Amino acid sequence: MRAGCEKRLVLILATITASGIISLRNLLDHNVVISRYQRKQESLQKCSYSMVETMNHMSSWKSHQNVSGIIEARQTVIENSNMTKLLTSASKPAKGLYLQEPIDKHLFRYIHNPEMTCFHDNCMKMDVHVVFFVPSALGNFDRREAIRRSYGKRDTWPVIAGGGKMVTVFMLGSTSDAGLQDKVDIESNKYGDIVQESFVDSYLNLTRKTIMGLKWVKSYCRHAEFAMKIDDDTSIIQRRIIPILRGAPRIRYMLGYVFKNPIVMRQKKHKFYMSKAFYPNASFPTYSIGAGYIMSTDVVEAVFNVAITIPIFPWEDVFVGMCLQKLDIEPNHDESFLFRESYINLLTVKSAKSAEKYVIATDIPPKRMVFFYERFRIKGS
């Protein structure tokens, strides 16, 4: 885990779990929040492993999964997955319970691992205030570059008490597209901020990517004070997050835009319908919306330790809520954590001042990311 230390190689767990629908929203915020995910879904479907491609070509998984030679076992898991049956056949709701889904121990190998990100060249721990881990689709080069030029650029942050740094890493899965992988290899060699594991990078693996981020922070940046999971189309309003971090507890802390025990949709025509056979509870555990949330790193470690003991759930933020429930940790709700309108509405002169009460805004195109971030930087930072 230090410079010169050997990179750990582990067996690839032969598991692909369907996780194709983004998190359920409660009814009050449904239309506002969901529209953003509809646009994200359209973007993600352009990737080499889109949800549509996965659903329409389940029989061709073998040709899409030439990763480390583990093919047939994964095919068996997919074919037997209750969630896959739910996703691929609207007329045949899942017969099995969610608890019958496979448990993922997350034993994937690293293709790229910037294990020294939170350490100095002499292997001493770097003072890290926040580590941002950003799930990102393989082809989203422009989004990652925009983040590197905005909140991912360390010298754009003011000096924090104690001198802690803000560091950023990106979470990617694997691909059988040699040309695409070559581009990722070049990017990783150039910037040293790509964490890539050997599971297939697809829309169905968003929960797995979050687990991946938790695992990396636990293993390689546990000494950071905080970690923040943040989507790659989301930016930070620096003027708000800095005061929050200064006063935040360093243990058992999580902050975000929280949905408290949202009900499960049972209407079959509803976009987020889930059968009682698959998930019998009337409501989900309390969870923070997945666009972005802050955790003390003891919570990161604890959530990961639980995540590898329970079946993967298709909606990653609900899954994290399930882990928190087992830990008896209640996420803190901030009504102004997420700006739920278009980011453009924060850029007008009239609304610039009020923008400072929010922590994140989302659905920001790469070409606007830097401008948006710079607009709300602390003066002189």
pLDDT at 348 > cutoff 60: yes
67 or 252, greater pLDDT: 252
DSSP states of 180-224:
HHHHHHHHHHHHS-EEEEEEE-SGGGHHHHHHHHHHHHHHH-TTS
145 or 58, greater pLDDT: 145
Q: Can you give the residue ranges of every domain in the chain?
A: 27-375
Binned at pLDDT 50, 70 and 90, residue 88 comes out as very low
Binned at pLDDT 50, 70 and 90, residue 102 comes out as confident
**pLDDT of 211-243, one tens digit each?**
999 999 999 999 999 999 999 999 999 999 999
Q: What percent of the chain has pLDDT over 90?
A: 59
Least confident of 33-42, 138-147, 358-367, 372-381: 33-42
Average pLDDT score, the chain: 79
How is domain 27-375 classified at the architecture level of CATH?
A: Alpha-Beta Complex (3.90)
pLDDT of residue 219: 98
Binned at pLDDT 50, 70 and 90, residue 35 comes out as very low
pLDDT of residue 277: 86
pLDDT of residue 349: 60
Rank 22-26, 119-123, 346-350 by mean pLDDT and report only the highest: 119-123
pLDDT of residue 100: 79
Give the separation between CA 186 and CA 62, rounded to whole angstroms. 27
DSSP states of 9-64:
--PPP-------SPPP--GGGHHHHHHHHHHHHHHHTTSTT-HHHHHHTGGGHHHH
Average pLDDT estimate for 65-73: 30
Give the separation between CA 144 and CA 149, rounded to whole angstroms. 9
pLDDT of residue 143: 98
pLDDT of residue 338: 96
**pLDDT of 156-214, one tens digit each?**
998 775 678 999 999 999 999 999 999 999 999 999 999 999 999 987 799 999 999 99
234 or 51, greater pLDDT: 234
pLDDT at 344 > cutoff 80: yes
pLDDT of residue 118: 97
**pLDDT of 329-338, one tens digit each?**
999 999 999 9
Strands of 282-363 (E only): list them.
287-288, 292-296, 332-333, 338-339, 360-361
Binned at pLDDT 50, 70 and 90, residue 83 comes out as very low
pLDDT of residue 16: 32
Q: Give Cα 18 distance to the centre of its chain.
A: 16
